[in-house]
Structure 1
Amino acid sequence: MTARIAGRLPDELDEPQAEVYRAITGGARATGPQAFALTDEAGRLRGPFNAMLLSPPVGMAVQAVGAAVRYESVLTDRVREMAVLAVAAHWNSTFEREAHEAVGRACGLTDSELSTLRAGGLPDLADPAERAALCATAALVEVGALNDQEYDDTVAEWGERGLFELTTLVGYYALLALQLRVFAGEGPKDPCDTPQTESRTP
């Protein structure tokens, strides 16, 4: 499937759309090293961001959630990027995988950890806080809920705030993956090519 909506040049945007564009390309996303480009060479938004221009009120709110889970969370950079990549593997999102593998490398994820996440597994993590967060992520992705042990383990390491932020992150990147399927032409996995996932028990 090819993209269903064309990218818009900056000078083609009306003011509400331009406000969303500025919010996405400016602020925290524009500071520091850029692991992946938000726009193409002509300035069109890439990936899921282009679709946010279709509804500026909703697009503005969605991008704000994304900025909050990336830049204002108590989760560490490593945990955040591993969780994003677990979502990307589940949804087979090429854009999310490529973009966040680049971010993950900058955050210290190893080639082995990236390869395991790409295959839909969980890395062998020594840190108990990272293990708890990734086991919770796997449960959220696979069944959409946590059992009591998973809930207690995650809260013990990250607090209720951290767990709330983790569930928000998983939901946000699942939303982007869905919109990439609908608007940008990404497709679901071939059911005959689904990797075997590792147990989420640490």
Structure 2
Amino acid sequence: MILYLHGFRSSPLSFKARMLQQRMTELGHASAYQCPQLPASPREAIALAEDIASKETSQSLTLIGSSLGGYYATYLAERLGCRAVLLNPAITPPRDLEKYVGVMTAYHSDEPFEFKREYIDELKALKVSKVTHPERYLLVAATGDEVLDWREMVAHYPASRQIVIEGSDHGISDFAKYQDEVLAFCGIETGNRQ
């Protein structure tokens, strides 16, 4: 099963989440893909993801995390012993999200939500200083990411498999080129040779 963890202010309606869901459906694996709406609270987001993941074995589960979801996926992969694909992952969200404390809306909704100051401490509690099994990780980092520094990503997963995309952007707008390689890492047969 693939559990997709979206980024900050994002949702299951994000570009990459919908693209992967469509591709999994095309490949006959629609039931093996989940992308829940994550709560604003990191502690609650992790609890929700762990609840879904608990129904799988570590061998049958792959986490795909985008941006803040990549930070969550790293924490959970270490905790659960499963694989993780990291798409432009946040490496230091306690630092990066400090300026977003307050009320805002998500990208795919007009519904307001509050990112509370205590969530910064919740993020700090999820920090993974160094991954223990780099072979369980695939990093996809875009040098053109306008939000996060791709060099921090590469440095944080030094012995892991890495796809460094020249250019692109934070949302990896050219993700279609890489989705089958991502799915192959997840153990999904796509019919394409990598």
TM-score normalised according to structure 1 size: 0.28
Larger RCO, structures 1/2 (Cα 8 Å, 6+ apart): 1
**Greater percentage in strand:** 2
TM-score normalised according to structure 2 size: 0.29
**Greater percentage in helix:** 1
